[in-house]
Structure 1
Amino acid sequence: MRNKGKYRIVIEILSIIFGSLLIAIGANTLLLPANLLSGGVIGICMILYHFFHWSVGVQYFIYNIPLLILGYIHLGKKFILYTILAVISDTIFLHFIPIRLMWTDNIILASIFGGIISFAGGAIMLRVGGSNGGLDVLGRIIAKHKNLSIAKFGLIVNLIIVAISAVIFDVQAAMFTILSLYVGAKTYESLLNMAERSSVIIVTDKGEEISEALNQAFHRGVTSWDALGAYSHSEKQVILCVIVNIQWSELCQTVQSIDDHAFISAMPAQKVIGNFKNVW
C-alpha cells in the first residue's frame, strides 16, 4: 500500500509538470504571438509583456508569491505544495519556450487550440490535487468562504482581460480572445466534470478518524451512523458526504490512508439543498 502511495505521488508530480508544459506551449506558441490573451494571472502577464516586454514567466512567479502565502494560510498543505511546484514549472516553461507561432499563423486556429492546450494543462493540475496558481488559489479561498465558484470568479476576471484586449489591440483581437477563453473553459469543464457532485457512502471500522480527516481536508460536513456487516456480523460505521467530483481522488486517498479496507461508493447528486459550497 505504501509503494502504491509513492507511485501515485510520482504520477501526480509528473502530471503537474506536464500540465505546466501545456500551458506554456499554448501561451507562447499560439496565443501571445497572435496578439491574443489567456485568462487569469497569465493574461495579466501577457498584457504587461506587450507594453514593457517583461518576461511572462518571471512576472508570473512574482505575482504568485502573495497568492501562495494566502493559500498556505487558508488551504490544504498538499494543494499548496503541488501549486508551488506548478508555479515553478510554469515560470521555467513560460520563460524559456520561445514566443513565436510554431504550428499555424491562422489566428482562428491559434485562438482555438491555444485555449484548448492551455486550459487542458490547468485541468490536469487540478485533477491531481494541485492548481496552476494565480487566480485558482484566490478563487478557491473565496469559494471556501463564499458561495462563489472558481468558474464564476474566473469569468469576472476574464471579462476584464477581454475588455483590455479590445483597448490595446482591437475589437477583432478581443473577439478571438473570447473564442479562445470559451473553448478553453469548455475543455476545462469537460476534463474536470466540475459541475457534477456525488453523494459518497463510506463503510469502515474507523468512522471517527475518517470523519475528522474529511472535515479537515475538504471542509465538508459528514453524517455517520452505526451499522452491522451482514456477512461478517461485525460493527461498522457508515459515513455520508457530498463532494464535487474533482475531489474524488483525494477523498479515496484520505480514506484509504486511514482504513485501506474501507468500502467507498459514490452516486450522482443532481441537486443539493443546504450548506454546500461548490469549492471547485
Structure 2
Amino acid sequence: MNRVYLQQIRNILMIAAAAFIYAMGISLFLDPNNLAPGGMTGIAVILNRLSGIETGTLYFLLNVPIVLLGIWKFGWRFIIKTVYAIVLTSFFTNLLAGYDALTDDPLLAALAGGVLIAVGIGMVFKAGATTGGMDIIIKIIRQKYRHLKTGFLFQSTDMLIVAASGFIFRDLNIALYALIAVLVNGRAMDYVLYGGDEAKMIYIITAKPCEVGRRLLKELDVGITYLQGKGGWTGQEKEVIFCVVRKQLGPRVEEIVKEEDSSAFMIITSASEIYGEGYKDFFAETL
C-alpha cells in the first residue's frame, strides 16, 4: 500500500483519538466545573451557561464562520482536516456531556482538563490539522499585522475569555482556576509536541524546493532561506531550504514536505534560544 496513503489513514485515526481526548477534558473536567479554558472552547462554555445550548453544539457553530473564512483565505487543502477535527470534537463533547464529572474539585479539574486538552491539540497538530477557532483567526491577523507575535495574540485572547468567565459567573476563584487550566495546557502541549524545546531548525533537501517553499510561506507564514548546496557524491547543485519554526508548526512542516516530495531529505534539530523577529529581542535580553 502507498506510504502516503497509509500516512493519511494514520492521520485520520489520530485526529479521531485526539478529538475524543480533547472532549474528555472539556466534558468530564472543565465544563462541569464552570472552567472556561480560553479559545473557542472557553467561549462555548460561557455561552452554554447563558443559552442552555450544548457546549459541543456551540463549539461547532462558533467554528462554522471561522472555517468558511479560512477556506476563503487559505483554500480547502489547508482546512479540510481541521473541519474533520472540529466535527468530531463537537460530537464527542456532546456525547460525553451525558456522564458525570470525574471530580468536583476545581483545581484537579483545571489540572486534568488542561493536560487532556493539550494532549488532544498536540495530536491534532501532529496529524497536520488544527482545532480551528483562534488558530485560524490569529493566522489571519498575523498576515496583516506581522509585528504582532503569535504567542502574544493567543495569550491575550485567552486572558480576555478567562476574565469574561469570572465576570459572567461572578466568581473570581473560577476565573483563577480557569487561568491555571490555560497555563497547564500551554506547558503540557510543549511536552506533547517536542518535549518542551523552544523551537525547531529544519533543513530540507528536496527535488521540489519551489513548491515546498511556496507552501511553507503561504500556509504556515514562516520565514525560509534558500541555501546553495552541492552533492558530495554526485556533484549536483541543489537548493536547501532552511527554516526555524515554533514547536507546534513542526509536524505541519513535515506533512507539507511529505505531500510535495515523499523522497525529500529532512534534518530537524532543537534550538533552545533564537534571537530575531518573531522570537527573542537580542538587545532586550542583554540589557
Give the shorter-chain TM-score range. Answer: 0.7 to 0.9
Matched, 1:37 2:39: no
Taking the aligned partners of 1:247 and 1:190, their CA distance within structure 2 comes to: 14
Q: Which runs of 5+ in 1 are unaligned?
A: none
Q: Which runs of 5+ in 2 are unaligned?
A: 281-287
Q: CA deviation at 1:256?
A: 4.3
Taking the aligned partners of 2:172 and 2:217, their CA distance within structure 1 comes to: 47
Counterpart for residue 45 of structure 2: 46
Counterpart for residue 163 of structure 2: 163
Q: CA deviation at 1:178?
A: 1.6
Counterpart for residue 284 of structure 2: none
Q: State the SS of the aligned residue for 1:14.
A: helix
Which moved further from structure 2: 80-89 or 153-162? 153-162
Q: CA deviation at 1:89?
A: 0.7
Given that 1:40 and 1:157 are in contact with CA atoms closer than 8 Å, whether structure 2 keeps it comes out as yes
Taking the aligned partners of 1:34 and 1:14, their CA distance within structure 2 comes to: 30
Shift in alpha-carbon separation, 1:231–1:150, aligned structure 2, 3 A: same
1:87-125: CA deviation from partner (whole Å, max 9, x where unpaired): 111221122222554422322211211111123212221
- The one-letter code matched in structure 2 to 1:124 is M
Taking the aligned partners of 1:19 and 1:180, their CA distance within structure 2 comes to: 18
Counterpart for residue 129 of structure 1: 128
Counterpart for residue 180 of structure 1: 181
Q: CA deviation at 1:54?
A: 1.1
- The one-letter code matched in structure 2 to 1:179 is I
1:30-69: CA deviation from partner (whole Å, max 9, x where unpaired): 1121222222112111112112211112212211111011
Counterpart for residue 113 of structure 2: 114
Q: How many residues align?
A: 276
1:129-161: CA deviation from partner (whole Å, max 9, x where unpaired): 211111121122223332434432232222222
Q: TM-score, with normalisation over the residues of structure 2?
A: 0.83
Counterpart for residue 103 of structure 2: 104
Counterpart for residue 237 of structure 1: 239
Shift in alpha-carbon separation, 1:259–1:51, aligned structure 2, 3 A: closer
- The one-letter code matched in structure 2 to 1:47 is I
Given that 1:147 and 1:277 are in contact with CA atoms closer than 8 Å, whether structure 2 keeps it comes out as no
Taking the aligned partners of 1:208 and 1:59, their CA distance within structure 2 comes to: 41
- The one-letter code matched in structure 2 to 1:273 is G
Which moved further from structure 2: 25-34 or 73-82? 73-82
Counterpart for residue 192 of structure 1: 193
Q: Please tell me the root mean square deviation across aligned C-alpha atoms, in Å.
A: 2.7
- The one-letter code matched in structure 2 to 1:271 is I
Counterpart for residue 264 of structure 1: 266
Q: TM-score, with normalisation over the residues of structure 1?
A: 0.85
Q: CA deviation at 1:83?
A: 0.9
- The one-letter code matched in structure 2 to 1:86 is A
Counterpart for residue 248 of structure 1: 250
Which moved further from structure 2: 171-180 or 208-217? 208-217
Percent of aligned pairs sharing the same letter: 26
Taking the aligned partners of 1:217 and 1:157, their CA distance within structure 2 comes to: 22
Given that 2:198 and 2:270 are in contact with CA atoms closer than 8 Å, whether structure 1 keeps it comes out as yes
Given that 2:197 and 2:270 are in contact with CA atoms closer than 8 Å, whether structure 1 keeps it comes out as no
- The one-letter code matched in structure 2 to 1:240 is F
Taking the aligned partners of 1:161 and 1:95, their CA distance within structure 2 comes to: 21
Counterpart for residue 66 of structure 2: 67
Shift in alpha-carbon separation, 1:267–1:72, aligned structure 2, 3 A: same
